[in-house]
Amino acid sequence: MADTKTLSGALYSPAMDEKTHEQTYRGFVKFVEIGSATVLCWVVALAVGGVREAWLTAIAGVLLSWVAAAIGAFVPAIGWKGPAVVLALLILALVLG
C-alpha cells in the first residue's frame, strides 16, 4: 500500500520552482481559452456552411479564426478575445445570412 504520511504539502522540495509552476499554469489556461474559442468558431463555421450553404464564408471564418488565435497567443492583451470577435461575426452570418 502507498505511504500516505509523505503526501503532505509541507514536504515539497525547495528545488521546486513555484514561479515556473504558476507561469506554466497561466500559459496552459491561456492556451485552453484561445483553443476553445477557436474550436467554437469552427463549429459555427460548419453551421454557416451547412445551413446557409455559404461555404466560402465558412472557409474565410476558419482562416480568420486561425489568424485571430495566433495573434491572441502572441499578444497577451488580446488572448481569447480575437477568436471571440470572429465567433460573433460567424454567428451574425448564421443568423442574418
pLDDT in tens, 20-48: 888 999 999 999 999 999 999 999 999 99
User: What's the rounded mean pLDDT across residues 67-82?
Assistant: 97
Number of domains into which the chain is organized: 1
Domain coverage including residue 55: 33-97
What is the H or E stretch that residue 90 is in? helix 81-96
Give a yes or no: residue 23 inside a domain.
no
Cell of 95: 443568423
pLDDT higher than threshold 80 for residue 10 = no
User: What is the CB-side half-sphere exposure of residue 86 using CA atoms within 13 A?
Assistant: 32
Give a yes or no: residue 62 inside a domain.
yes
State the pTM of this model: 0.81
Question: Can you give the pLDDT at residue 96?
Answer: 94
- For residue 73, give the nearest of 62, 60, 82 by alpha carbon: 82
Give a yes or no: residue 66 inside a domain.
yes
| Percent of the chain whose pLDDT exceeds 90 | 76
Question: Can you give the pLDDT at residue 50?
Answer: 97
User: What's the rounded mean pLDDT across residues 67-77?
Assistant: 97
